[in-house]
Structure 1
């Protein structure tokens, strides 16, 4: 099974930025833990702060992977282009968020992507990614 994790803007700073919201662990450290937990899965990782690069990655893998776990960061709330890219591909996408976006600023309550995703997981910290992977395993 091939699962791609895609992180959007500012998520390269996990473990450094706003630790009270996002925690102390870098994504690279967390990814190592996921790979150890799921040795039978090929977990690929991609992060970009650039909207067009995220769209290009979706196009590149969106017809050959078994699942995509996507935390589009702030693009979740603004990007019709990423929503359209998700709609255009065959690989199912699960939208994830580390924080509970509904307990945060009002603008974070609306996802432009959710309607084109298999589901949304938010508010479980980094464990949101694991929960998405578990869904692909049981689907």
Structure 2
């Protein structure tokens, strides 16, 4: 498959799964940061740091994904290879932040089906993120 077609395929993947995950996960991340740092009366210090750090990791992951997606869609694989290490570190940080969301979704799914809604809050972004890693590691045609 030529690079132009791969970019279009990635754009569709990013629109379908990435935007959905960014909307759900970004909303929860902003709420976490807001509650932790702007409305601290609800939590003790350790809980504020945990919730604020988790939300900040999610937001940093979203920023890294947006940056790398833009680099790929504009410059192809060369753009991914030329992007800095900070963007890849941000992407991995966001991926790590989504792991507990999957665990909470599985745990809550045993009690109510609404727990599965948590699977829409961040984890769908894993599909385009993994694709970016694959595209960076493979040779282009």
Structure 2-normalised TM-score?
A: 0.30
Q: Which has the larger helix fraction?
A: 2
Higher strand fraction: Structure 1 or Structure 2?
A: 1
Higher RCO, Cα 8 Å, sep 6+? 2
| TM-score, L = length of structure 1 | 0.30
